[in-house]
Structure 1
């Protein structure tokens, strides 16, 4: 049987977690699957089973840009690139676009990256693809100048460079410049919610997946810059340092260094012996407390929310998650397989509303009925409409209907979420994302 958990915590609904628990052979021999269902964000929970298998990377992972280089004097290092940036911003012409290295800028507005949409191969409008809306440094300066804003080096954040390209990439927050929206819209560029781009990403398109990782990294950095305006030690203003990769206190007597923060959130899948398994996933996360290991956090939170005692905890994979709440600019989702020592469920009503049990077969059927491909094409079409300036006032969830006519008995996060990979790994008896060659002491095929 499957245990469905219905969350009642509003504050936790912004995060995603997945918890897999497994009782040992001393437990009753019946299959279990624990699922936390969150009523919000259902629009992101429809998928196709074909996309849930053989994915080799998580969304927002695999950023192709390099941000460090062994030689500080190299033109692609953050310090050298920043000095070159300052020099070019002092020039009054746009001829520097032809000088090596060239600079490309990705604007963000209220957390939304600039994107463009093109028809699929062969001009097939039914399969649009989106890409990031990079603009040249001179063009970026020109757009801002029309709004009466002078582009400065301190307003740009260094993202990195491509090893095989003569280009340095930057990000900038233009949330306060309203005039840029129609200006860029005339060039079929628009600011799109990162979650929408996440669903719209074509998993077979390497460029789209790379763009998603770059956009996630850039958004996390820009959001962190907004949150770290003041020193946590003395309260003075902070200023960007190292091309925006860190900040420093402006107080000469303090000069504290401030680095981008990461908020670890745990996804856990719990297995029992043979076919038994308990999985807890949903839009709520296990936040690690100070002085606590990840494994300890898994055991503590599982017992607190579901009353289940956890034994062995085995690492599965991790995923950057830059689309959480603005107060947590970059969460790091950490997935684990864990083994439950008890089966009895004792729900904490302050965290969960209810819990039910379901079998592996029911979970497998639900995955087979879900339609991720339709969610992808719907989101991709929405991005295309937005870039054309004729966005439909339609919710993504409105198009998440099951073509077979049979409704899935439960909903899962899409293949863009680590929770999905943990669940599909268990259902298929194997891991779709590498676990560093290490498997739990009990084979996944036997769980």
Structure 2
């Protein structure tokens, strides 16, 4: 049976579902003013004192995380209060300033109309080498987001929400790292609006820039007549993993045109009808393109002879519906989850072991499957599954 999710992995962020009024204490503007007061050390805070600030540190794109040791509950994000974060930074290479923190969202706690709640911030502490040991003593560690992605219980809405928050924070912080200078005049860019925008410091320019989203088309190409689908294999993926074709949108190009062009360039297959399926935020791509949006399509082939571009792909091949169904049925995604959760637990305890997480996907009774496809954390899985199980 296909695996269905309430929302795609990295979507459904629970702290970005509403836009607060500018006058609310947990709005970006008001929360940032409170932040400046806290950093200055002033204590005469009135209305803003109803707020709690929680901060999620990142190091080289990896969020701080911990493990309960219970592999059913798996991992949790390493949120710190403002006071805890301030103590951690003492004696480190990172100086506490309002420009360091980026507004992520809020939970207003407004069950009875009382304006109180939690404001969430992200922060990049990649320059603080000594912080790794400090967090390690608390059994917290900076864990790769893709590892957390595999380790997440995809049926747990709360866990999925935490993963979405971490994904959004990573994308925003990576954007800050890569967007340091104005593209118009070359002057320095500084954060504004609590880190959600940046602005050129040149008085004659003052250009504002916003976090960009790079659209990526991902498509399952289908041969209707022979009831099969086209799969590709990349050398950068683990052996035996087959997935959908994908590629970036080019200027002046529609999404459907991009699907047809990328399919032709990579495999020599011509595509006619293109049907939208779904989309997924993807903040775990390269740091040069930290805010990607995967836009998924089913595409119907009008030619069938494959001519692989070896610069782009290791291989491409048609696979029958029955073969794909078998791969989906026998691939042990639950086992991969437990493997990743164990790795997170080891990392947080300082006992990281080099283990290929995906190697456990395609194992049944000790036999390696001839092919397997990405897990439910990837839009490719849902494109493939929707075709394989359609009536």
**For 1:343 and 1:401, how far apart are their aligned partners in 2?**
28
Does 1:415 pair with 2:360?
no
**For 2:314 and 2:364, how far apart are their aligned partners in 1?**
31
- Asked if the contact 2:283–2:292 (Cα under 8 Å) also holds between the matched residues in 1, the reply is yes
Match of 2:250 in 1: 289
- Asked if the contact 1:94–1:138 (Cα under 8 Å) also holds between the matched residues in 2, the reply is no
Match of 2:32 in 1: 82
Q: Which among 304, 316, 319 is matched to residue 343 of structure 1?
A: 304
> 1:390-401 alignment to 2 at 5 Å?
390-397=351-358, 399-400=360-361
Match of 2:188 in 1: 237
Match of 1:322 in 2: 283
Structure 2 vs 1, CA of residues 117 and 322 (structure 1 numbering), >3 Å: closer, same or farther?
Answer: same
**For 2:58 and 2:362, how far apart are their aligned partners in 1?**
32
Does 1:373 pair with 2:334?
yes
**For 1:425 and 1:281, how far apart are their aligned partners in 2?**
18
Q: Which among 298, 301, 313 is matched to residue 262 of structure 2?
A: 301
Structure 2 vs 1, CA of residues 308 and 401 (structure 1 numbering), >3 Å: closer, same or farther?
Answer: closer
**After alignment, is 211-220 or 65-74 more displaced?**
65-74
Does 1:59 pair with 2:9?
yes
Structure with more relative contact order (C-alpha pairs < 8 Å, separation 6 or more): 1
Name the Cα RMSD after superposition. 2.3
Does 1:140 pair with 2:85?
yes
1:344 Cα deviation after fit: 2.4
Does 1:179 pair with 2:140?
no
Secondary structure, counterpart of 2:50 in structure 1? coil
Secondary structure, counterpart of 1:252 in structure 2? coil
Does 1:225 pair with 2:176?
yes
Superposed CA deviations along residues 14-59 of structure 1, whole A, max 9, x for unmatched, are xxxxxxxxxxxxxxxxxxxxxxxxxxxxxxxxxxxx6x52223221
**For 1:215 and 1:373, how far apart are their aligned partners in 2?**
22
> 1:254-273 alignment to 2 at 5 Å?
254-273=205-224
Match of 1:334 in 2: 295
Does 1:114 pair with 2:64?
yes
Secondary structure, counterpart of 1:154 in structure 2? coil
**For 1:288 and 1:266, how far apart are their aligned partners in 2?**
7
Structure 2 vs 1, CA of residues 298 and 261 (structure 1 numbering), >3 Å: closer, same or farther?
Answer: same
Gaps of 5+ in 1: 1-49, 121-125, 430-444
1:61 Cα deviation after fit: 0.9
Does 1:158 pair with 2:103?
yes
Q: Which among 122, 125, 149 is matched to residue 198 of structure 1?
A: 149
Secondary structure, counterpart of 2:215 in structure 1? strand
Secondary structure, counterpart of 2:172 in structure 1? helix
Secondary structure, counterpart of 2:317 in structure 1? coil
1:207 Cα deviation after fit: 1.8
1:99 Cα deviation after fit: 2.3
1:272 Cα deviation after fit: 3.2
- Asked if the contact 1:268–1:279 (Cα under 8 Å) also holds between the matched residues in 2, the reply is no
**For 1:70 and 1:382, how far apart are their aligned partners in 2?**
38
1:384 Cα deviation after fit: 1.1
TM, length-normalised to structure 1:
0.79
- Asked if the contact 1:369–1:407 (Cα under 8 Å) also holds between the matched residues in 2, the reply is no
Does 1:253 pair with 2:214?
no
1:68 Cα deviation after fit: 5.8
Q: Which runs of 4+ in 1 moved over 4 A?
A: 92-96, 281-284, 397-401
**For 1:250 and 1:375, how far apart are their aligned partners in 2?**
48
**For 1:67 and 1:241, how far apart are their aligned partners in 2?**
21
Superposed CA deviations along residues 318-342 of structure 1, whole A, max 9, x for unmatched, are 1111111111111111101122222
Structure 2 vs 1, CA of residues 252 and 143 (structure 1 numbering), >3 Å: closer, same or farther?
Answer: same
- Asked if the contact 1:78–1:158 (Cα under 8 Å) also holds between the matched residues in 2, the reply is yes
- Asked if the contact 1:117–1:129 (Cα under 8 Å) also holds between the matched residues in 2, the reply is yes
Secondary structure, counterpart of 1:303 in structure 2? helix
**For 2:193 and 2:10, how far apart are their aligned partners in 1?**
24
Does 1:355 pair with 2:312?
no
Gaps of 5+ in 2: 111-116, 235-244
Match of 2:240 in 1: none
Q: Alignment length, in residue pairs? A: 375
**For 2:276 and 2:160, how far apart are their aligned partners in 1?**
24
